[in-house]
Amino acid sequence: MAQRAEVDRKCQYVQGVLYASDQYGPSTSISYTAMNLIGRPENYPDFDEFVNSYMLTTHGEWWREVPSFYPEFGLSNVPASQNPPVTDFIVVSFEDPVFPLSLEVYETFNPGAIRRVWAFTPAGSVKWELLWTRTWADVCLLTRAPVFKENLIKIKTPVRVIRLEFDTTHLQYIPGYDGMLLCGLADRPSECGQGDPPALQPLADDVGHTSSRAGTINITELAAEMLLNIFSFLDIWSLSSVERVCQKFNLVARDPGLFRAVNLRPYWMLVNTARVQWLAARCTGIRKLDVSWCGMFDANFAASVHRLLLTCGKAITHLRLDDIPVPFTGEQLCGIADHCPSLKEVSLRQMQLQPPPEQLSFINLTRLNVARTAIGTECLVHLLPRNPQLQHLNVTCCLNVDLQELVTTITKHNRELISLNLWKAGELLPAGLRTLQVCTKLRELDLGWTIPQDRLDGALGDVLKSCPGMLKLGLAGLRGLQDADVVDIVKYCRQLQQLDLMGCISVTGSSVDRVFYTCCNLRFVDINHCERITNAFLMDWDMLYSGIFQFITRAKMIDYHSN
C-alpha cells in the first residue's frame, strides 16, 4: 500500500503566476518579479539578491512610521486569529490537480516571511482551504534554512492553485524566492478533511423563547437597544451568524449603525458576489469600506462592488480596493467616482482596469493611491486640479504616466502635498524635480529609480531647502546622485528619519558619514549596493550606530544568513 502511494505521488513546479500583490520589478520586466517562480529553481542553494528571483519590496515595520502610512479601519472587532500580520500574497498554479501533501519554497534571500498557505478548491463547498499556518511562537524560533518545507493539512479535494501569504514585519530586509515545489497524490488519501459544514437552519420565531430558569432573562428577551450595544462588539462575520438565530436578532443585526466601517480584507477567502449583495442590504449608512484582496475567480465580483457603491456610496469617505485580483472596467471606476461624492481617501493599488479610464471625477480628495495601475497621464492631469487639498499621492510603478507632465500639474494645483511616491513610475529630469520646491509641506518623497541622468545639477538640494520638515527620502537607484547632493541632505534635512540610498553607486562613505553624524533622528538607512562606500566606514558605523538606528548593506545580509 505504501509502495502504491509512492507511485501515485506527484511533485511539480509552478506552471503559472495568477496574481502577486507585490514585487520589486514592474509588470513589464522579468527582473525581480513573480514570474521568476515559474519552473525549476535556478539559483538555489546560493543565497543572494538574484535578478532572476522573485523579491518583495517591504520588510520590517518602517513603512508604518512614515507620513503616508494610513492604518486600516474596521478591525477593532476582528479576532486576532482571523487577522494575522500578513502584508502580501501571491497566487500560483500547477499543471495537474493533486491532493496536497507538502510544499517546498526555495528562499534565496532573507527567509522566514511565509505565514499561511491556502488552496483553491473549485469543486468544494469552501472555495479556499487553509493548508498551513505559522504562529507567532514559530516566528520567534525561525531558523535561516533556505528551504521552506512543510507538510500540509490533508483535504478532500484535488487542487492546482496555491496561495502563499507573507509577513515581512520581522525581517531585516526584503525576501527573495527562487521556486516552489508542490507534492501530492493523484488519488484521494484515506484521511482528509472533515466533510461539509452543516447546512444553515431557517430563522426561528421569537415565540416560545422563554427564560431558562425562573428569575432569569433569556438574551432574546433583552430590549433591542441593549442587543444593539452587544452586537456592536461583533465582527461582520459574527453579525452574519447572529442574525440567523431568530427574527429579533435578525432585525437588530441589520441595523445600519453596525456597518459604518466595514473591512472585508481579513475575510477575503469567504467574500464573493453573494456576500457583497448581503452587505448592500445592510450598509446604507456606510462611511468606510475596504474590499481589498477579495473576489478572486468570481466573474461577477467587480460588478457587485460597483452596484454596492452606486447604491450605498453617497456618504462614504474612505474606500480601499487594493489588490483585487479581478478586473474592473474604466466605466465601473468612473461610476464609483460619480456616485461617491463624499470620498476623501481612495486607494486603488494594483486595480486591474480594462480599459483604464480617460477621466475620473473624484473631488476634494486628501489621499489617492493608484500604485501599479494602468491609469495614465491624461487621467491624472484631469483629476489633480479637482483635488487641491490632496495631501498624499502614490503613483508607484504607474508605467503610463509622463512624470514631467505629472510634476508640472502637481506644482500648479497640489501644493498641500505631504507625501509623494514616484518609485519606478518613469523618468524625471532634474529640471522637473526642481519644480517640486514649491511643495513646501512635503515630509516624504520617494524618487527611487526615476532619474537616469549622470547628475542632478543641484535640483535635489533646491527641493530639500524648501522642505525642512522632510522625514523620509527615497533615492534608490539614482546613479547620478553625488556626494554634493548628500551634503545637501545634511544641510536641509536635520529631522530626517529614513533614507534610502540603495544602488547610489557614486556616493562615498565620507558624505554618508556626515548624514549619520548630523541627522540625529535617523531610524533607518539603506546603503545596499553603494559600491564606493568602503569596508572601513561600514565597520566604524557598525560600532558607533548599530544600537541607535538600522543601516542595511549587502554584506550584513549575507553575514546574517551565514551565521
Mean pLDDT split into 10-residue runs, the chain, 563 residues: 63 98 93 97 93 96 95 95 94 97 96 96 86 74 72 95 96 95 89 48 46 68 93 94 93 95 96 95 95 96 97 96 97 95 98 94 97 97 98 97 98 98 97 97 98 94 98 97 97 97 96 95 94 93 84 60 49
Domain contains 66:
yes
E strand spans, 226-300 = 261-263, 288-290
d(CA 296, CA 146): 30
CA distances, 431 to each of 156, 384, 422, 453, 462 (Å): 62, 21, 16, 11, 11
Spell out the long-range contacts of 198-206 with Cβ–Cβ below 8 A and sequence spacing 24 or more: 200/244, 201/244, 203/244, 203/245, 203/246, 203/247, 203/250, 204/245, 204/246, 204/247, 205/246, 205/247, 206/246, 206/247, 206/248
Residue corresponding to grid cell 539614482: 478
Model pLDDT, residue 218: 83
Contact 433, 453 (CB under 8 A): no
Q: Is 323 left (phi over 0), alpha (psi -120 to 50) or beta?
A: left
Read off the CATH number of the domain in which 48 is found: 2.60.120.260
**What secondary structure letter does DSSP report for 17?**
E
Read off the CATH number of the domain in which 506 is found: 3.80.10.10
Model pLDDT, residue 555: 54
| Domain count across the chain | 2
Domain contains 255:
no
d(CA 416, CA 396): 19
Residue corresponding to grid cell 502563499: 164
Cα–Cα nearest to 302, from 263, 336, 269: 336
Model pLDDT, residue 215: 64
Model pLDDT, residue 196: 46
Instruction: Write out the residue range of the structural domain in which residue 135 sits.
Output: 9-185
Domain contains 36:
yes
Domain contains 51:
yes
Handedness of CA 477, 525, 522, 446 (dihedral sign): positive
CA angle 100, 101, 107 (to 5 degrees): 95
Model pLDDT, residue 144: 55
Model pLDDT, residue 183: 97
CA angle 66, 21, 356 (to 5 degrees): 95
d(CA 398, CA 403): 10
Q: What would the 3-class secondary structure string for 115-165 be?
A: EEEEEECCCCCCCEEEEEECCHHHHHCCCCCCEEEEECCCCCCCEEEEEEE
CB atoms within 10 A of CB 18: 16
d(CA 521, CA 66): 13
Domain contains 379:
no
Domain contains 441:
yes
Domain contains 309:
no
Share of the chain residues as helix, strand and coil, in percent rounded to the nearest 5: 30, 20, 50
d(CA 185, CA 265): 32
CA angle 321, 326, 332 (to 5 degrees): 65
CA distances, 67 to each of 197, 248, 391, 421, 500 (Å): 45, 45, 10, 11, 15
d(CA 212, CA 57): 57
**CA-CA-CA-CA torsion for 23, 24, 26, 29, nearest 10 degrees?**
-100
**pTM of the complete model:** 0.92
Domain contains 547:
yes
Model pLDDT, residue 137: 52
Beta-ladder partners of 10: 184
CA distances, 51 to each of 23, 25, 177, 513 (Å): 12, 9, 11, 29
Contact 316, 346 (CB under 8 A): no
**What secondary structure letter does DSSP report for 105?**
E
Last residue of a domain, one of 185, 214, 236: 185
Last residue of a domain, one of 157, 185, 213: 185
Cell numbers linked to 273 = 458576489
Helices (H) and strands (E) in the chain, counts: 16, 21
Last residue of a domain, one of 151, 170, 185: 185
